[in-house]
Amino acid sequence: MNKTSATRFLKNEALRLGFDFCGINKAAFLEEEASRLENWLHNQMHGSMSYMERNFDKRLDPTLLVPGAKSVVSLLYNYFPLDEQPQDAELKISRYAYGRDYHQVIKEKLRELFDSIHNHIGEVAGRVFVDSAPVLDRAWAKKSGLGWIGKNANLINPKNGSWFFIAELIIDLDLDYDNAIKDYCGTCTRCMDACPTDAIVKPYVVDGSKCISYFTIELKDSIPSVFNDKYNNWIFGCDICQEVCPWNRFAKPHNHPELINENNLRQWTERQWEELTEDIFKDLFKESPLRRTGFEGIKRNIKFVTGNKS
């Protein structure tokens, strides 16, 4: 199979497996991102996420992750839900956490895609990645023409907005490459204006150590009191900068059953969350993104929000 035919097959197969968009770029050092990442780390914008400091070179050079790599295949998987929590919900969780842990869901599909490549194209070496390895996924998706990086640092697709998980295949197969598209944020600053903790310190730069998602998921210590009354009822993650983005008016609900809110979390009351026990947490959320913060983390977040309601 020649390069163009292989590219066409791979993209069609990705769509068949449920991915919404697929773009490809040459596996090479990310020169444009090197200084940005270095400055971001130097300014301590990663907070207590020490893992961001590790594997600096690997984050920038995919050939260090997959020797002989020729292509980075970027894929988008829609998670925008049909049924959402009301804006005045007593306690909120990010939309991406409504269903099963996306790491598991997407890795299964990536393995299927890899198997199809082997069966139809031939022996190909590589690895699959879903937000759990030193890969700058948004940078690769941007280079592959799947969208531009918005002022809130999210990838924005011009057809469907930003409610996507990003995944990659890094492989030693030479393919046809896509081109980046232009930035369409223009003069809009809605995401910056709406952020209650001022985490978007300037266009395209997010101080992770000020982000509600960081406090409710990554931070293991107590939440600083300076952020009292700024949480807007979020106890796991935060979607504010995406909710206000004009491009998300084009978002379409996904049709992935594994991401559907089986526990009906969007309708949980404050009392239900407060009465959550560790045993019930472990049972209900054993395959959920909420497992990441743990029972004690969720209870801390609930206490912080309910104790600081004005």
Helices (H), 121-217: 137-143, 190-194, 212-213
CA distance 90 to 87: 9
CA–CA–CA angle 72, 99, 193 (5° rounding):
75
CA angle 206, 85, 249 (to 5 degrees): 60
Is the separation of the CB atoms in 100 and 109 below 8 Å?
A: no
Which residue is catalytic, options 57, 83, 131, 193? 131
* Residues present in the chain in total: 310
What is the Cα Rg of the chain in Å? 20
131 is catalytic: yes
What does the alpha-carbon distance between residue 144 and residue 75 come to, in Å, rounded to a whole number? 9
Active site residues: 131
